[in-house]
Amino acid sequence: MTANGTVNTLGLIPYMVKVEAYITPGLPYFSIIGVPDASLSPLREQIRNAVESTGRTWPQQRVTVNLSPASIPKQGSQIALPIALAVIHAMEGQPESAEETCVLGGIDANGNVTPITNLTPMLDYCRNHGIDSIITPKTNHEETTHTGIDAHEVETLEEAIAKIKTITSPEQGTGTQPAVR
């Protein structure tokens, strides 16, 4: 199991979402659980294509992504990047870590990171809850400046993977993958 995290909004009210990915034996299937919004259903193929665009082979096993808390609906494509990163970390057998990094962003089927809406309240939420490192779409640059948060702007899924490895390199700290919240 590997975990990442993100912030989502219910209207304009932000809340934390933990993204956990599991790869288990069984027939190939990709499910997203945790009361996902109906708009998240098409994201499964988009995420799979984006992961494969990095040169990785999608697992021929059961891939389950859990979005928690389950009691709150998740909406919007901005949860796609954290899901893709959680799946990649699970594929590579990377453990969950206590380090706090929040991932915010969508992705398209080619692995390009897409901009998100309502980013400002999400950034405020991160800052107010002690999250000091975030990964965001480069196209949302205007909103990430002057936030007091270390924003790592990325254009592709491959860049996001590299940024996480840079954030957690042994020279900078734990040497483990961040818990993306």
Domains in the chain: boundaries = 5-168
Q: Residue 87 has what pLDDT? A: 94
Q: Residue 168 has what pLDDT? A: 62
Q: Residue 122 has what pLDDT? A: 87
Phi-psi region of 161 (alpha: psi -120 to 50; beta: other; left: phi over 0): alpha
Q: Residue 174 has what pLDDT? A: 37
Q: Residue 60 has what pLDDT? A: 95
The pTM score is 0.85
Q: Report the CATH number of the 5-168 domain.
A: 3.30.230.10
The DSSP annotation for the chain comes to -EEEEEEEEETTEEEEEEEEEEEESSSSEEEEESSB-GGGTTHHHHHHHHHHHTTPPPPSSEEEEEEE-TTS-B-SGGGHHHHHHHHHHHHTTPPP-S-EEEE--EE-TTSBEE--SSHHHHHHHHHHTT--EEEEEGGGHHHHTTSSSEEEEESBHHHHHHHHHHHT-TTTS--S--EE-
pLDDT string in tens for the chain (181-residue length): 445 667 776 666 788 889 999 999 999 999 998 876 676 778 899 999 999 999 999 999 999 999 988 888 777 778 899 999 999 999 988 755 535 688 999 999 999 999 988 888 888 888 888 887 899 999 988 888 877 888 899 999 999 999 987 876 544 443 333 444 4
Q: Residue 4 has what pLDDT? A: 61
CB 20 within 8 A of CB 3: yes
